[in-house]
Amino acid sequence: MNPEHLSAKAAAAPLDRLLPNPKARLQDQFHEVARFKHLSPRTEASYWEWVVRYLRFHKARARGWKHPRELTSHGVTPFLTYLANERNVAASTQNQALNTMLFLYREVLAMPFTSGDFVRVRRTPRVPIVLTRDEVRELLDAMTGTHQLMARCLYGTGMRLLEALRLRVKDVDFARGQIVVRAGKGNKDRITILPASVREPLEQHLAEVCKLHQRDLVAGFGSVPLPFGLARKYPNAERQWGWQWVFPSATRSTDPATGRIGRHHGGDRITAGAQAGVAAHHHRKVCFLSHLASLVRDSFA
């Protein structure tokens, strides 16, 4: 085969690794690779916090800062053991730290990674807390307005809190009675049910959101951030109704990525008036699956 043809194919192939600017600071290199890999802003921030903890851990031991290149991946073993023995972290927390170190050395620094023989935190099986239907009803009745509707959607659909906050108008299908969850856990899409009990209040809520969107458009705003490169491919989509948030923020804010003023989705730091909704979020997945299973079982009884 023609070598020139091979080189042309290699040039056209998508890159799976980015080598950051070697002259940049470690933090800048880290964020550059994280955005190239399309890590969510939350994951990117969480990973960087673990890098800082890792560096501070070795600073205390060596009485001075050391670059991860100098530490090599052999510095990961005592750090993970320290988390297990002295910090008494959960298994999921230690796994997150391990994933961060893996990302740091393999993706950012392009170095071989060996975690070594560290002390692993054992997962202890726990019995989940399942609220009864009467308890769920009492919990939902304690809330009002948008917070109640959001909590009812969480319980009735099994969505996670951020999945509900990031829900777009176009992904609510009233005709089919379903909701499409985009980029959920594991960056996967899935379809869940739209409960009949929230259909009417959700339609009324969206009617009010539509009026809010129209007022934003008249004021020269009304744009929302779009995923990936859709804003470049469809420059007008960011103002279209279908792409708007189902649960938008009450106030406009500046997008830190673009500097543009728009309306982001509602915040996940729910105020004191909706603290009951936090409890609903923690238990909603187990309650949703448990009550759904009981309904299916009763239908065959």
Q: How many domains does the chain have?
A: 2
Helix 196-218 crosses helix 145-157 at what angle (to 10 degrees)? 130
pLDDT band for 130, please (50, 70, 90 cuts). confident
Residue 289's pLDDT is 56
By the 10 Å C-beta count (0-12 exposed, 13-18 middle, 19+ buried), 195 is classed as middle
Q: Is residue 123 a part of any domain in this protein?
A: no
185 and 48, same structural domain?
Answer: no
Residue 127 lies in a domain: no
Spatial separation of the C-alpha atoms in residues 95 and 121, rounded to whole Å: 9
Question: Does residue 15 carry a pLDDT above 80?
Answer: no
CA angle 96–100–101, rounded 5-degree value = 120
Q: Examine the domain organization and report whether 239 and 92 are in the same domain.
A: no
Is the pLDDT at 1 greater than 50, yes or no?
A: no
A 10 A CB-CB count for 123 gives 10
> How high does pLDDT run on average in the chain?
85
Whole-number pLDDT of residue 3 = 46
Domain that holds residue 63: 16-108
Are both 97 and 233 inside the same structural domain?
Answer: no
Residue of 182, 177, 214 whose CA lies nearest to 195: 177
- Is residue 148 domain-shared with residue 293, that is, in the same domain? yes
Shared domain for 137 and 84, answered yes or no, is: no
Residue 250, in any domain of the structure: yes
Assign residue 82 the CATH number of its domain: 1.10.150.130
